Structure 1
Amino acid sequence: MQIGIDSFVDYTPDAAGNLVPAQQRMADLMEEIALADKVGLAAFGIGEHHRPDYLASSPSTILAAAASITKQIRLQSSVTVLSSDDPVRVFQQFATVDLISNGRAEIVVGRGSFTESYPLFGFDLKHYDELFSEKLDLLLKLREQANITWEGQLRSSLNGEGVYPRPVQQKLPVWLGVGGTPQSFARAGVLGLPLMVAIIGGEPHRFRPLIDLYRKVYLQAGHPEQDMKVGLHVLGFLADTDKQAGDTMFPVWQRQFAKIGAERGWGAPQTRGQFDGNASPTGAFFVGTPDTVATKLKYVDEALGGVDRVNIQLTSGTLPHQDVMQAIDLLGTAATAATK
């Protein structure tokens, strides 16, 4: 199992209502990625968002900067909102990251849980599904060769034009990011793509039927079993004690989800009891000491029939940089313990 980190580069206020300057937040992020590389974590993902509380509107730019200060960690988007982007530019940008990093770039594509990018870039939400299907088809074809002929309904056609540069990796890795719909899991299986499942609450074992559906469809489609991968995007935090980890994560998580919940009509704010339920041994949150998190990693691996990568989002809201750095250091310890 590979262990990594995801970040949306949160820019929300702390408990005192203060924000660090944006340039300082980016500098802190570079230190966090460099430390993740140093402690041996497998991947660092940057999730695309176009909101005032996040700074990651351009994951490929951030990952290119990170490529120059790291040596071994995989650099991925988490996710790229492909529906509102152009597949040619996405391919070019990540091929460039791949060149800078000497073959460490990966793309996780999805439709996005937020919709700000659609009107921002001139796309109609009524084409939500069609945009993603068509653009994913084009992106996958661009991996195969530089000059392709392609025709779609919602993007202009290609008639043999060259798409450059080409990446170091012969086939630039593309994961399919999914939430909870069977159709999305089945799509990944049909296309033979690695699966990245977002589990941000509840109990991970409930996703087993959907992951088994992916595996079944994948094999029925004739794809090589050795290339089949299941990854998870989850929430968590590490500290010297379980209580310290929970006490640090809960208020920022509660504040962030209350904001999102108010936008989406989720009702009452999340309570500490609900948080602690998610942090329980069978819950979705990876919160606690390295031993506690290592035990949770082993649990989800068994409960879901084998997991190839788990990326933990350590900042569900702004946390002090020194706390995040400590959590990354501890996650390196947890990753070592979980893979023994």
Structure 2
Amino acid sequence: MDFSLLFFANREATDPPQEYDVLHDAAAFADSHDFTAVWVPERHFHPFGGAYPNPALAAASLARATSRIRLRAGSVVLPLRDTLNVVEDWAFVDNLSRGRVDLALATGWIANDFVLAPDRYQGRKEYLHQAIPELRSLWAGGTVERVNGAGETIEVRTYPRPVQPELDLWLTCASNPETFVRAGELGLNVLTALLFQKVTDLEPRIAAYRQARERAGHDPEAGTVTLMVHTFVAPTDDEARAAVESPFKAYLDSAVDLWKNQWAHLRGPDRAQMLDFAFERYFRSAAMFGSVERCTGFVERLQEVGVGEVASLIDFGVPTDQVLASLEHLDEVRAAVQSAPGVVLTDA
């Protein structure tokens, strides 16, 4: 089981630069311990995640401040971008980091984000699937045809050339079983979460993913399933609850309008009750909140259903000093899980 950190800050920050201090300080911790990667998102036009409009910028800032961990986009919303821009940006980061870049790709789901590419919103899933071969080809040094400013069709190749000859890719899968299957068919890794699914839901979806890999001629055991998990590890369960309950409810409340079909019809007391219910669900079974012992058991359960990497989302509103202190306890969880009999460690 690999352990990584993931960032998706939500705050109308009174001190915006502090968001990036947390990113750099936590990444430094991960780099000096046995963590695998740092994931940074792409979000637009909303405080929920909006600290990261371009994950390549965040990754570039980390590239020279770290030396070992992988720098991953979680995720590039490919229908909002030209593959030429994506390869140019991330090849630059690949050079700065000496070949430590990986990308997760997403279709996007919020219509307002697509003011950047309004014609692609309806067909965003098809666009993403069709763009992946072009993305891979450009990364490997291939060319694509484009129309230039003079109206001429020309072939272009991107620069700088990346350090890595191939790019390791993930597909972001919310909860739709068909997306897991599609990731398997494409030979991609999976980045998923427990927003709208339970741990018990993961097992059949991961099984379907591996079966799809095998049917498509890919090694069924080679793909990585990465699970984003909200995380705060403390000396005791009670200390964890006291630290996370208020900021995590505020975090969930800020996300309501982004998932209108699931939550946004709730108002007033109903909304408060929904937040209470959601918090209890996360604390009990859908987040890594609690003591080292409790969180170790949670990760071991994830391992049993086929998860290969836990990406701990840590910047959901808990004060910075507490977040950084909790990393020591998270590292204890990592050490306990990875030292268990039968665990095979992968290279960072």
Q: For residues 202 and 192 of structure 1, what CA distance do their matches in structure 2 show? A: 23
**One-letter identity of the residue aligned with 2:19:** R
1:128 aligns with 2:124: yes
Indicate the RMSD between aligned Cα atoms, in angstroms. Answer: 2.4
Q: 2:105 aligns with which of 96, 106, 109?
A: 109
CA spacing shift, 1:149–1:96, aligned 2, 3 Å: closer
Residue 202 (structure 1) shift: 4.8
Superposed, 1:296-307 pairs within 5 Å as 296-302=298-304, 304=305, 306-307=306-307
Stretches of 4+ moved more than 6 A in 1? none
Please list the CA deviations of residues 72-105 of structure 1 after superposition, one character each: whole Å capped at 9, or x if unmatched: 1111111111111121111121121111111211
Please list the CA deviations of residues 243-285 of structure 1 after superposition, one character each: whole Å capped at 9, or x if unmatched: 22122222222122223224522423334454233322xx211
Q: For residues 256 and 38 of structure 2, what CA distance do their matches in structure 1 show? A: 27
1:277 aligns with 2:281: yes
Compute the TM-score of the two structures, normalised by the length of structure 1: 0.87
1:51 aligns with 2:45: yes
**Residue 190 of structure 1: aligned partner:** 185
Give the SS at the match of 2:143: strand
CA spacing shift, 1:159–1:328, aligned 2, 3 Å: farther
| Contact 1:150–1:157 (8 Å) recurs in 2 | no
1:38 aligns with 2:38: no
**One-letter identity of the residue aligned with 2:181:** A
Q: 2:212 aligns with which of 214, 217, 237?
A: 217
CA spacing shift, 1:163–1:249, aligned 2, 3 Å: same
1:339 aligns with 2:338: yes
**Residue 10 of structure 2: aligned partner:** 10
| Contact 2:234–2:240 (8 Å) recurs in 1 | yes
Q: 1:95 aligns with which of 91, 94, 119?
A: 91
* Structure 2 gap segments, 5+ residues each: 340-348
CA spacing shift, 1:295–1:121, aligned 2, 3 Å: same
CA spacing shift, 1:66–1:139, aligned 2, 3 Å: same
Q: For residues 275 and 43 of structure 1, what CA distance do their matches in structure 2 show? A: 27
Q: For residues 157 and 196 of structure 1, what CA distance do their matches in structure 2 show? A: 39
| Contact 1:203–1:278 (8 Å) recurs in 2 | no
Q: 2:77 aligns with which of 71, 77, 81?
A: 81
CA spacing shift, 1:157–1:65, aligned 2, 3 Å: farther
Q: For residues 110 and 42 of structure 2, what CA distance do their matches in structure 1 show? A: 10
Please list the CA deviations of residues 11-32 of structure 1 after superposition, one character each: whole Å capped at 9, or x if unmatched: 33xxxxxx33222322332112
Residue 52 (structure 1) shift: 4.0
CA spacing shift, 1:266–1:74, aligned 2, 3 Å: farther
**One-letter identity of the residue aligned with 1:243:** D
Please list the CA deviations of residues 38-89 of structure 1 after superposition, one character each: whole Å capped at 9, or x if unmatched: 2321111011111341311111111111111112111111111111112111
Q: For residues 174 and 152 of structure 2, what CA distance do their matches in structure 1 show? A: 30
Q: For residues 228 and 157 of structure 1, what CA distance do their matches in structure 2 show? A: 41
Give the SS at the match of 2:65: coil
Q: For residues 288 and 324 of structure 2, what CA distance do their matches in structure 1 show? A: 16
1:26 aligns with 2:20: yes
Q: 1:68 aligns with which of 59, 64, 67?
A: 64
Q: For residues 133 and 11 of structure 1, what CA distance do their matches in structure 2 show? A: 33
| Contact 2:190–2:226 (8 Å) recurs in 1 | yes
| Contact 2:45–2:113 (8 Å) recurs in 1 | no
| Contact 2:144–2:157 (8 Å) recurs in 1 | no
CA spacing shift, 1:180–1:52, aligned 2, 3 Å: closer
Please list the CA deviations of residues 210-268 of structure 1 after superposition, one character each: whole Å capped at 9, or x if unmatched: 21111001011111345322111122212221122122222222122223224522423
Give the SS at the match of 2:218: coil
Superposed, 1:142-157 pairs within 5 Å as 142-143=138-139, 145-149=140-144
CA spacing shift, 1:171–1:194, aligned 2, 3 Å: same
Give the SS at the match of 1:292: helix
Residue 126 (structure 1) shift: 2.2
CA spacing shift, 1:52–1:204, aligned 2, 3 Å: same
Residue 150 (structure 1) shift: 6.0
| Contact 1:33–1:66 (8 Å) recurs in 2 | yes
| Contact 2:79–2:117 (8 Å) recurs in 1 | no
Compute the TM-score of the two structures, normalised by the length of structure 2: 0.86
Residue 121 (structure 1) shift: 4.3
Q: For residues 226 and 286 of structure 1, what CA distance do their matches in structure 2 show? A: 26
